[in-house]
Amino acid sequence: MPADDEPVDPKRHIEDNCKPKCVKSWVDYGKCIQRIKDDNTGHKHCTGQYFDYWSCVDQCVAPKLFRKLN
């Protein structure tokens, strides 16, 4: 089977279209990264902001992806 005939995962394309809708979460994550960049203790992190961003993306992607899979 040639490479051109391989199925394409639509999730990545849908994610790319959804990411601009989650820019506020992405900016919040970036601000957190800047705030903690000089922390050498390793105790500070931006896990919450990271998951907030991906939660926003997932909420946008899920209905579109499931419609394509049906």
pLDDT at 48: 97
The domain 10-66 having CATH identifier 1.10.287.20: the answer here is: yes
pLDDT at 8: 83
| Alpha-carbon separation of residue 70 from 14, 53, 65, 67 (angstroms) | 15, 26, 9, 5
Q: Where are the domains of the chain?
A: 10-66
**pLDDT tens digits for the chain (70 residues)?**
446 778 888 999 999 999 999 999 999 999 999 999 988 888 899 999 999 999 999 999 999 999 988 7
Per-residue burial over 7-28, b if 16 or more Cβ lie within 10 Å, else e, is eeeeeeebbeebbeebeebbeb
Of residues 8, 16, 29, 28, the one with CA closest to residue 57 = 16
Of residues 58, 52, 64, the one with CA closest to residue 26 = 52
